[in-house]
Amino acid sequence: MPGAPVDLAAALEDAKREAQMLRGELEETNRGVLALYAELDAQADQLREATALKSRFLAYMSHEFRTPINSMRSITRLLLDRVDGPLTEEQEKQVTFIQQNAAEFAEMVDDLLDLAKVEAGRVEISPAWFEMVDLFSALRGMFKPVLTNPAVHLVFEEPQDIPKLYTDDGKLSHILRNFISNALKFTPKGEVRVSARLEGPGRVTFSVADSGIGIASEFHHTIFQDFSQVHSQLQKRLRGTGLGLSLSKQLAQLIGGTVRLESEPGKGSTFSVTIPTHLEDARPA
């Protein structure tokens, strides 16, 4: 066939042109991908810088707030102790109100400062051996002065067959304090029960169960996020930052643990933290 070589040459030329076009499109696509990666890297750098600035701002403001708060608490304590003379019934009521608000404000500031430290990676893990009985005894003594509602009972179950733990007891105590404070706040009457049990080999679960208002299932996935608060009639009367549970989750992760929530509206809630009985990694977080 005399025309075949010409047709073949034309076909090869067309294929060559098509390949060049595809190569050009591919190079253009690659340039676009590289530009996108560069933009993503720049945005990631900006996000890291914004996060660092936020953490530094929170730490700075928390430190600045502590001085006036401590002054308010000291002055109200002196007034209630009648150091400068007696108070009328109305004066005592007003000073007590100031004292309670200052205590709530101090708690918020502490949560903000602790969260800033965690996000900035400036939290030291200090594991040590300790007994469960000592931890529960310290928590019991800590909450005894704040149990002002006679309709609510705080119960600590005696630990059974729990070995000595090697972890950061300060971090664990902080987590349980947040759980207990939260439970007492949202339990108008009934009890708040603190317990511990072995959870398989090498792990132990601490639970704080209450008979309070409970939490609807649609809020379960957000309850451990920053500034998360459940909307309820009781919540409207109570103030808080919504940081306590978020901070508890991050502290649990620092000591190799996990947190969990089980709750139904009207049936109370159970907040749990499961940690290893022996913290292997003792390096700074």
Whether the per-residue pLDDT at 270 is higher than 80: the answer is yes
In DSSP terms, 203 is beta-bridged to 276
Mean pLDDT in residue range 178-205: 91
Length of the chain: 285
Is the Cα dihedral 63, 68, 74, 76 positive or negative? negative
| Distance in angstroms (rounded) separating the CA atoms of residues 168 and 127 | 4
| Distance in angstroms (rounded) separating the CA atoms of residues 112 and 243 | 7
Mean pLDDT in residue range 187-205: 92
pLDDT tens digits for 56-84? 776 666 667 778 888 888 898 888 888 88
**Per-residue pLDDT, 19:** 85
Residue 283: pLDDT band by 50, 70, 90 thresholds?
very low
Whether the per-residue pLDDT at 5 is higher than 70: the answer is no
CA-based radius of gyration for the chain: 29
